[in-house]
Amino acid sequence: AQKITQTQPGMFVQEKEAVTLDCTYDTSDQSYGLFWYKQPSSGEMIFLIYQGSYDEQNATEGRYSLNFQKARKSANLVISASQLGDSAMYFCAMSLLRANSKLTFGKGITLSVRP
Amino acid sequence: GAGVSQSPRYKVAKRGQDVALRCDPISGHVSLFWYQQALGQGPEFLTYFQNEAQLDKSGLPSDRFFAERPEGSVSTLKIQRTQQEDSAVYLCASSLTGTGVDQPQHFGDGTRLSIL
């Protein structure tokens, strides 16, 4: 069965610095997608970035980039130039083509940005 | 608004009561998903609709949980004879197409359910 692992404890970063949030995944499927979502304390789940299993280049969306290492089964999120508003819970998730694309989430990582 | 809308935002019920949670997806979105998020955890899949068809209900924890999407738009998640372990945030998400792993799911703000 597919699994997402996020093991970092709460992360802290200084404002304007970059931070990497780790995510490893486990699946034997060849066709899958990897997503990162942000969940502020208000509760909404905000889509950040997507990486497909066949994509050869790392995905980028503004200040977010995904460091995709397929052989190591890792999909780390890099946030550049951190802002106070980046403080939130971050979830890595995976979808499988054969499983109706439902998302399997990790447990999440809490990021706190210090001024 | 253009986003996924869920109501009520908060729901408090006594153990044994029935509850109904509503989700209004983004207009035109084919796929609709329900997830349950316990405190401090990631969301867990409950069920999936493609238009009005419920294609996957493997995540529903018991037969007390029932979901429908009769006209392929609004969906309702119903929980009968609620128990304390049903306390959680229930998230609804929609995506544009019915297939493909590359479709981001867009989430509502969730319904926080508390069972007393």
Q: What are A4-54's pLDDT values in tens digits?
A: 999 998 999 999 999 999 999 999 999 899 999 999 998 889 999 999 999
Residue range B47-103, pLDDT digits in tens: 999 999 999 999 999 999 999 999 999 999 999 999 999 999 999 999 998 667 778
> Does A106 lie at the interface with B, CB-CB under 8 angstroms?
yes
Coil vs helix vs strand at A109: strand
pLDDT at B1: 54
Centre a 10 Å sphere on the Cβ of residue B91 and count the other Cβ atoms it contains.
Answer: 26
Q: How many Å apart are CA A40 and CA A37, to the nearest integer? A: 10
User: Are the beta carbons of A102 and B48 separated by less than 8 Å?
Assistant: yes
Beta bridge partners of B24: B5
Residue range A66-91, pLDDT digits in tens: 999 999 999 999 999 999 999 999 99
**DSSP code for A59:** P
Percent of chain B past pLDDT 90, that is, above it, reads 90
Give the one of A45, A50, A100 whose C-beta lies nearest to B107's C-beta: A45
Give the closest residue to A34 by CA, choosing from A88, A70, A78, A83.
A70
Give the closest residue to A41 by CA, choosing from B36, B39, B22.
B39
Q: How many Å apart are CA A99 and CA A21, to the nearest integer? A: 26
Instruction: Indicate the pLDDT class of residue B23, thresholds 50, 70 and 90.
Output: very high
CA distance B110 to chain A (A): 7
Q: How many Å apart are CA A94 and CA A106, to the nearest integer? A: 9
Instruction: Indicate the pLDDT class of residue A98, thresholds 50, 70 and 90.
Output: confident
pLDDT at A2: 84
CA distance B111 to chain A (A): 10
Q: What is the mean pLDDT of residues B1-23?
A: 94
User: Are the beta carbons of A43 and B48 separated by less than 8 Å?
Assistant: no
* Start-to-end C-alpha separation, chain A: 41
Q: How many Å apart are CA A64 and CA B75, to the nearest integer? A: 33
pLDDT at A9: 81
User: Are the beta carbons of B101 and A91 separated by less than 8 Å?
Assistant: no
